[in-house]
Chains A and B, each alone.
Chain A
Amino acid sequence: MLVYILKRILYFIPTFFIIAGLTFLLGTMAPGDPVELKLSAGMQSSEGQGQASDKLTGEKAYREWNEKLGRDLPTFYFSVTSKSYPDTLYRVLRKTERDNLERLIDRYGNWPQIVAYYKSVKALESAAISLSIDASDSTAFSRVKTVRESCNNLYRHYENEVNQIDLDNIKTAVNTSIQVKDSSGNVINYLALSPIKAQADAVFSSYDAMKQQATTSLKYVPAIHWYGLHNQFHRWLFGDVPWFSANTDPAKVSKGFFRGDFGDSYLDNRPVNSILRDAMKWTLLMNFIAFIIIYSISIPVGVSLAVKKGTRFDKAMTASLFILYSVPSFWVGTMLIIFFTNNYYANWMDIFPPYGLGKIGPEYTTWAKITDRSYHLVLPIFCGVYGAFAYISRQMRGGMMSVLRQDYIRTAFAKGLAPNTVYWKHALRNSLIPIITIFSSFLPAMISGAVIIEYLFTIPGMGRVSYESTVALNYPVQFTILMFSAILTMAGTLLSDILYVITDPRISFTKREG
């Protein structure tokens, strides 16, 4: 038996890594740039306009945040790409720029030329930012702005037609001159943007080079790059702070999933684990109460139905339990809220609070706290309970019925035991085993159900947090909850399997594995 349990626990490990991998994969596909989101919350985005110093500090902050979040690392232990991709593309931090470079690679396939072009655009942009314009040409400002905006467009677009327009804009801006009088009074053509002309020409020539020296065939040669342990996935799970020695590097901040560090929320920078701790409290409390109610009602109901098998009472109850199981909880919840939380239809119907958990002030006594909380939790718990209650009652009835057919029950009756003793003492014990272990198959449904019930009744539990983070694209919270619910479910399954083996010695381990 010990071997079986150990084996089950060992199976858990690869399963965990597969789920972690899938969750991480989802995370990498998430659109948007969290660092940009973080920075733009603090200040207005200054791309294209703004002062040169703004732009530089912005770049610096951007770089620092990326390092803090570990986004300057390669994504996974290895990457499989085509040979036209460089293995260092992850060093381009901005996702929009990186995506655009990937598009260019897909189109032209010649990384050396593409990177030359990319660098020339960068050089032109920084030259345009640091260009000081003298007062003799007041129209030059708008032209410098054109150059910078065009550069920004070039970072974002890969379509040749779009880029040609921006290149033409740069060309006109750089080559526009006005006539001014020089110190000796002669009228000359003055090129205000002549200092950046060399950089602009470099952009034009490198763009043409990239277009002409395309090596699209490289796209069809696969290449594998190995990055080792310094990658985002590894950092996410294990962190980059050393496990057993003191942390000397202030740049290393992440402890990793295994040490309870799930990152920070994008919205308010709160650590995800503190958000989860607060949310989990409510979901666990509600499910715990629900669990007790379900079992304490459905076991007697199931037993009495099995005892009265075939009677009209049994038939009616079984059918209605089956139908009750099909009633969607969000429908019941909506109806309860509409009809029983306000006095629109009748004064007596305003029985329950419509949402939330109520406010508990310091003046409340313990008893007042408990009653107020339970008053708020009645409807949500009811919505979460009845489906599982119907299901487990039916299971209990089935289990009890198969036990009642067995010989030892007949023996018990034959030796003259009171029927109630037979049912509640001898039969119940054996039919309980599958019912106790059935809860594991209910865990995913309960977690999913929590999303809807907590959304309906505005209860700040895991489900509500998960819903809100989906709407707000708050990925760290979202994916941590996904991971947690999967782990919880697997742990539940593991526990119920082990319980099953422990409680029922008749079960053979070897057969169960096959």
Chain B
Amino acid sequence: MSQEQKNKKPDQSYWGIVKRQFKKNRLAVWSLRVVYLIFFVGIFADFLANEKPLYCKLEGKTHFPVLLDYGVSMGLVKMPPELLNVDWVKADYESVLRAPIPYSPLTQDFDNAFASPTKKQDVTSWRFRHLLGSDQLGRDLLSGLIHGTRIAMLVGIVSMSIASFFGILLGAIAGYFGDNRLQVSRVTLLLNVVFVFFGWFYAFEARTYIMSDALSDSFGSFSFQFLISLLLFLAIMFIPNLIAMLFKGISFLGKPVTIPIDIIISRAIEILNSIPILLLILSVCAVVKKPSIMLIMVIIGLTGWTGIASYIRAELLKVRSLEYIEAAQSLGFSEWRIMLRHAIPNSLTSVLITVAFGVASAILTESSLSFLGIGVQADVVTWGKLLNEARSEVSSWWFAVFPGLAIFVTVTVFNLLGEGLTDAMDPRLKQ
């Protein structure tokens, strides 16, 4: 890659130009730094705000309780029995190194219920002050915000990964093949239609109960079962394409049929766009027995691909008539290979813009849902949920200000990032 070389001359590669343009936009550069900070806080939330000390010496033994928690949750080690009933905040340590915020989001501190960040608090030292206040059970707001960062980050990553996968694939197919370039032989089409039915039947219908049992068990095991079903489906869909090879020689069966794939995909985009996402998620949450934050991320992802798809569709409409694509065609590569290996990579960078805006809107959607109290389990702390706590007590202004500020800053930063990328990639600005 040319941008890795350290030339004296300014880098003239596409990325080099984009980078230079991006760096001129100070607002966008600062936004990127805030994004890094958000990721840092999200990843190290357990080390930043935790009632358990990072290191402690208790009854002559040294422990690393936070690290220990990771080990326990991964099943590597067992919790030592002497640590099971420790009151982490008030325990008598011989020596201790606490997390910067010595509270977990659910740690209760009844001495400091509704502690105001500006007023005197009933704490032994400044170390234990609730810097941004606490709620009626004395749960620390700052700790909640730090752990909520992780949820917000996850929402952005999970939903946008799903959305990017579907958006890039479907948008590229619609843009590259258009309405008259996707041609398959009659026999392939026929066999595929028949086998979609069989694939669906054996992979999903016959495994309904396996999957629904897994869903009531946990979301993880459901994902696993769903993956198996998906692989089974793909395996079944492999068969008709194999059989079709044999019959292609027969002129009647081998005659090509054109599939107007662009119309089909554009229509699907239009349908999805016409359903207000919040209402759709509300309806789905009403139907599902145990809605979880994971489910909401997945729905946001499954409905949010339309923006990316329209974007990449427009890109590929331009790309497909470029000379290098024609060159690849004349070399005899298959259309799918050209699309996947040559056309899509060339337009991927611009998808970053839509992803940046998408992360912002995904975080906004999730926080408004948890603000409404929909789809959040009791033990999960999110920004929206914290903001809603302000409604129960007028005097706790800190719950009205800080969680909303966190949402606002995150959303703005991602929007600014998207705006900065748009400007940087705009070819009119290239010098």
Q: Which residues of A are interface residues toward B (Cβ below 8 A)? A: 11, 14-15, 18-19, 23, 26-27, 29-31, 80-82, 103, 106, 219-220, 222, 319, 322-323, 325-328, 330-332, 334-335, 337-339, 342, 344-345, 444-445, 447-448, 451-452, 455, 466-467, 469-471, 473, 475, 478-479, 481-482, 485-486, 489-490, 493, 514
Contact A26 B287 (CB under 8 A): yes
Would A326 and B271 be within 8 Å (CB), given that A26-B283, A26-B284, A80-B205 are in contact? Answer: no
Tell me the smallest distance from the CB of A96 to a CB of chain B, in Å.
14
Question: Contacts A334-B404, A481-B279 given: A444-B287 contact, CB under 8 Å?
Answer: no
Given contacts A19-B271, A331-B408, A485-B279, contact A219 B206 (CB under 8 A): yes
Contact between chains at B205 and A444 (CB < 8 Å):
no
Interface string of B403-429 (1 = CB under 8 A from A): 011011001100110010000000000
- C-alpha gap A445/B275 in the complex (Å): 10
Judge if B154 is at the interface, Cβ distance under 8 Å: no
Contact A335 B400 (CB under 8 A): yes
- Do A478 and B368 have beta carbons less than 8 Å apart? no
Other A-B pairs, 20, CB within 8 Å; known A23-B283, A30-B286, A220-B202: A27-B287, A80-B197, A322-B416, A326-B411, A326-B415, A328-B368, A331-B407, A331-B408, A332-B404, A334-B400, A337-B391, A339-B397, A444-B275, A447-B279, A452-B278, A452-B371, A471-B374, A478-B282, A486-B276, A490-B270
A331 to B409, CA, bound (A): 12
Indicate if the CB atoms of A451 and B279 lie closer than 8 Å.
yes
| A475 with B286: CB separation less than 8 A | yes
Give the distance to chain B from A218, nearest Cβ to Cβ, in Å: 11
Q: Which residue of A lies closest to B209 (CB)?
A: A106
* Inter-subunit contact B275/A485 (CB<8 Å): yes
| B302 CB to nearest A CB, Å | 12
**Pairwise interchain contact B206-A220, C-beta atoms closer than 8 A:** yes
B66 is an interface residue with CB less than 8 A from chain A: no
* Distance A475 CA – B27 CA, assembled complex (angstroms): 46
Q: List 17 A-B contacts (CB under 8 A).
A: A19-B274, A82-B201, A222-B197, A319-B27, A322-B415, A322-B416, A326-B415, A327-B412, A328-B404, A335-B401, A339-B397, A344-B395, A444-B277, A448-B278, A451-B278, A485-B279, A490-B270
Q: Which residue of B lies closest to A472 (CB)?
A: B286
Which residues on the A side are within 8 Å of B367 (C-beta)?
Answer: 328, 330
The main secondary structure of chain B at its interface with chain A is helix
Interchain CB contact under 8 A, A15 and B404:
no
Given contacts A319-B27, A325-B415, A467-B372, contact A82 B205 (CB under 8 A): yes
9 interchain residue pairs of minimum CB distance: A331-B404, A448-B278, A326-B412, A444-B276, A489-B274, A338-B400, A470-B282, A447-B276, A470-B286
Docked pose: A344 CA to B116 CA in angstroms: 14
> Are B279 and A493 in contact, with the CB atoms below 8 A?
no
Q: Is the CB of B408 within 8 A of A326?
A: yes
B415: chain A residues at CB < 8 Å are 322, 325-326
Contacts of B274 in A (CB 8 A): 15, 19, 444, 486, 489-490, 493
In-complex Cβ contact of A80 among B201, B280, B387 (8 A): B201
Contacts A26-B284, A482-B279; is A452 near B372 (CB within 8 Å)?
yes
Query: Is B364 on the interface with A (CB-CB < 8 A)?
Result: yes
Whether A222 touches B412, Cβ cut-off 8 Å, given contacts A328-B368, A338-B394, is no
When the two chains form the complex, which single residue of A15, A80, A345 contacts B271, counting CB atoms closer than 8 Å? A15
Q: Does B39 contact A (CB under 8 A)?
A: no
Pairwise interchain contact B374-A470, C-beta atoms closer than 8 A: yes
Counting CB contacts under 8 A, is B360 at the interface? Answer: yes
Please name all residues of chain A whose beta carbon is closer than 8 Å to the beta carbon of B280 when the two chains form the complex: 482
Q: Which residues of A lie under 8 Å from residue B391 when comparing CB positions?
A: 334, 337
> Which residues from chain A contact B372 at a C-beta distance below 8 Å?
451-452, 455, 467
Closest residue to B405 on the A side, CB-wise?
Answer: A331
**Residues in B whose Cβ lies below 8 Å from that of A448:** 276-279, 368
Q: In the complex, what's the smallest C-beta–C-beta distance from A460 to chain B, in angstroms? A: 16
In chain B between 376 and 411, which residues have their CB closer than 8 angstroms to a CB of chain A?
384, 387-388, 390-391, 394-395, 397, 400-401, 404-405, 407-408, 411
* Selected contact of A327 from candidates B208, B276, B397, B408, CB within 8 Å: B408
Q: For the complex, what is the distance from the CA of A330 to the CA of B405, rounded to whole Å? A: 11
In Å, the complex CA distance between A475 and B283 comes to: 8
Q: How far is the CB of A333 from chain B (nearest CB, A)?
A: 10
Interface string of B260-275 (1 = CB under 8 A from A): 0000000100110111
User: B201 contacts A328, CB within 8 Å?
Assistant: no
Contacts of B197 in A (CB 8 A): 80, 222
Q: Is the CB of A338 within 8 A of B202?
A: no
Interface assignment of B165: CB less than 8 Å from any CB of chain A: no
Q: Which residues of B contact A328 (CB under 8 A)?
A: 364, 367-368, 404, 407-408, 411
One of A81, A479, A485 near B205 (C-beta < 8 A): A81
Residue B285 is within 8 A (CB to CB) of chain A in the complex: yes
Is B90 interfacial (CB-CB < 8 Å)?
Answer: no
When A30-B286, A479-B283 are in contact, do A486 and B275 touch as well, CB less than 8 Å? yes
B335 within 8 A of partner (CB): no
Q: Are B279 and A466 in contact (CB under 8 A)?
A: yes
Cα-based distance from A322 to B202 in the complex (angstroms): 50
Q: Mask for B125-169, Cβ within 8 A of A = 1, else 0? A: 000000000000000000000000000000000000000000000
Known: A335-B404, A344-B394. Is A222-B419 also a contact (CB below 8 A)?
A: no
